[in-house]
Structure 1
């Protein structure tokens, strides 16, 4: 294990980057590529909308996360014993899809396709629990920002490859070859975890975990919520990205109202996503120097300013330079703030409870953010786009006031 002052080995960083990239590959396929391909084959919009329901395992995984922390493979290791078979199963499902024709899958076998994609999401969500737990154990606190840079960046790269990338090659390669390339990438990203000697480097310590059996779910999360200062921390966690959740869903609709085409928005999304990846990487490096509190304050401030600045675009959609400048800044700030928040969440994880403790925090933050985002359209219709973005920025600034209070009352500033 590295010391708190030493940067993790390159092999460790490659391992984490490969695992999070692997998670992004099926997500990009389901969220970005398949809706386009289904519509091209005449599938009804209502059925395409069902793809959103396939993401339910990512929200519900908190219900089985404690068992992922508790159960270990004697031969493969703890986290490795979950990741290898789950990702291998995803590759087999995608390989099976490659053997079928689009006319079959998008026609009479559409229920089969939806069922297989649900299994893929179930496996990917469960693998995410094990991967997060492995990340917390592998990285000393100072370098968890860098680890979360790889999490955010790797996941987005995977989504871009199987989303935008697959659509770019699909016309020339066709369905079967495109799926085969995706299988190849899933297998390649398995190599670092296959070579990782987890049983020697991170032996499982079952004495630190609750015994498996009835009541494990309640015992596990009750123990987490009983940690000192957890009430204040949950207030920080749930409020930190509410401003971004409120404002960001209305950026593209605003630009559509100002005449932006689908192609122009696609290009903006691609370039701004790359800025988000760069922001995540920069945020991870700065986190190691700033420490958790200063990183949260600085990156949270940039996040609030970025979403509030979108108000300047309400009557300026024709100024593409200004749109790109503010969109890139907002995405970079979002990447930096996400990395800092995820690293801070890792601080709250108990030994041998890492996967489930992180999962509960992430699920709570995602659920509340989704509910707030769902109301963004209603608020925009009531107070206008400018009012929405300024309100979202103000909400982001107000949330920062909880940070010094939490650190002063709950624990000393580390780093």
Structure 2
């Protein structure tokens, strides 16, 4: 019975995470395409990345959720209300015309992303409180699988459907899916947490107090470094494939479908591995995978790779990324303070987003000046630095669970 409840809880969180990602991935993919078709400038299309700003700034209102969510029912109310607002805004956008209501559409999408980010804060906090230390990696697998699966569906499958049935017909279905994804949580009575104590209620200043913890900076260094060896390579993967002569359709299949699918499967595998061998060993193992992936692309840059070799590199890249997300999320859950679960977890995920954004920008500049050889050498160096950092800084954390 306990195993059955755990499986149901994991499935519930998977539904919540994929419900966040699919609409966001769809909008982030389809709107730039539509803007280009309407002859918007590339600069204007680049500014569209600002619609994701709520997911960077969500730490600002995370203490409010921690403060007012004391029981399982409180967290469910936050999740239901924010997700219903998310669905309602998506449904409302369906009735607007992209040509005449463009700025209204963008404004509504930004507001919908605020609602989605709020749902994410409450969902993350509930996940932290609902699972034991041993099972947190499995919960993080659901989070990562929801992210990869949502990206694949929202940026791939729905893009194809969009071309067939159009904006006004697809978005109501998307809104309905967001609501349907709430049903497992509605009927799940097995998610239980210990009510918070009055002295554990969060304050606005807790965002800053997070950084005053004595041992938190080694985790912050880890968060900045761990993805960095991958993000630059991932950011330049599509331009690299274009320069090798592959079409957009071929690139979509190679990276968007095949690569993301591997990331999805690796996320599930990574959760099991972390549960079996512990955080410290998993940090090292996945850092080695990241290093191998970057070295593989460094080797490819000195040859004219075949499609098979490229698929091998893409699988390595996305597979190591999928596993790396698990150890990042799991260790982030370990570093939350009582009563500030949503705040502390959100701050750590924002750190990874910011470091990824900076690395993506830096990788483009490095590739411009040194070519792909220089970029992949730089990424390999960062991956090696990350591995050495883990071996030195976390050498005392050799727990097995």
User: What TM-score does the superposition give when structure 1 sets the normalisation length?
Assistant: 0.90
**Matching residue of 1:15:** 12
Task: Supply the RMSD in Å over aligned alpha carbons.
Answer: 2.3
Structure 2: give runs of 5+ residues left out of the alignment.
Answer: none
Cα 1:315–1:394 shift into 2, 3 Å: closer
How far apart are the structure 2 equivalents of 1:208 and 1:400? Answer: 39
**Matching residue of 2:143:** 151
**8 A contact 1:22–1:155 mirrored in 2:** no
Cα 1:7–1:311 shift into 2, 3 Å: farther
**Aligned partner of 2:73 among 70, 77, 93:** 77
SS at match of 2:195: coil
**TM-superposed deviation, 1:89:** 0.7
How far apart are the structure 2 equivalents of 1:45 and 1:236? Answer: 35
Cα 1:225–1:125 shift into 2, 3 Å: same
**Matching residue of 1:240:** 226
**Matching residue of 2:177:** 185
The reply to whether residue 30 of structure 1 matches residue 12 of structure 2 is no
How far apart are the structure 2 equivalents of 1:203 and 1:13? Answer: 19
**Aligned partner of 2:165 among 153, 173, 194:** 173
**TM-superposed deviation, 1:291:** 0.4
Q: 1:259-317, CA deviations, whole angstroms, 9 ceiling, x for partnerless residues? A: 11111111112111101111111111111111000011001110121022112322545
How far apart are the structure 1 equivalents of 2:131 and 2:333? Answer: 10
Moved more, 331-340 or 6-15: 6-15
**TM-superposed deviation, 1:341:** 1.3
Cα 1:232–1:174 shift into 2, 3 Å: closer
**Aligned partner of 2:111 among 96, 119, 131:** 119
SS at match of 1:217: coil
**Aligned partner of 1:201 among 192, 195, 214:** 192
**8 A contact 1:29–1:163 mirrored in 2:** yes
**8 A contact 1:73–1:81 mirrored in 2:** no
**TM-superposed deviation, 1:370:** 1.2
**8 A contact 1:280–1:339 mirrored in 2:** yes
**Matching residue of 2:57:** 60
**TM-superposed deviation, 1:156:** 2.0
Cα 1:381–1:37 shift into 2, 3 Å: closer
How far apart are the structure 2 equivalents of 1:232 and 1:98? Answer: 46
**TM-superposed deviation, 1:95:** 1.3
How far apart are the structure 2 equivalents of 1:315 and 1:334? Answer: 23
**Aligned partner of 2:240 among 247, 250, 254:** 254
The reply to whether residue 301 of structure 1 matches residue 301 of structure 2 is no
Q: 1:327-373, CA deviations, whole angstroms, 9 ceiling, x for partnerless residues? A: 11111111011111111111101222111101111112221221122
**TM-superposed deviation, 1:44:** 4.5
Q: 1:70-99, CA deviations, whole angstroms, 9 ceiling, x for partnerless residues? A: 11388x822212110111111111111223
Cα 1:81–1:302 shift into 2, 3 Å: same
Moved more, 7-16 or 272-281: 7-16
How far apart are the structure 2 equivalents of 1:124 and 1:97? Answer: 15
**8 A contact 2:152–2:261 mirrored in 1:** no
**Matching residue of 1:134:** 126
**Matching residue of 2:339:** 352
Cα 1:229–1:70 shift into 2, 3 Å: same
Moved more, 313-322 or 270-279: 313-322
**TM-superposed deviation, 1:248:** 2.4
**Aligned partner of 1:92 among 83, 88, 94:** 88
**TM-superposed deviation, 1:42:** 4.4
SS at match of 1:142: coil
**8 A contact 2:145–2:268 mirrored in 1:** yes
**TM-superposed deviation, 1:208:** 4.5
Moved more, 382-391 or 294-303: 382-391
**Aligned partner of 1:313 among 300, 311, 320:** 300
**Matching residue of 1:400:** 387
**8 A contact 1:233–1:406 mirrored in 2:** no
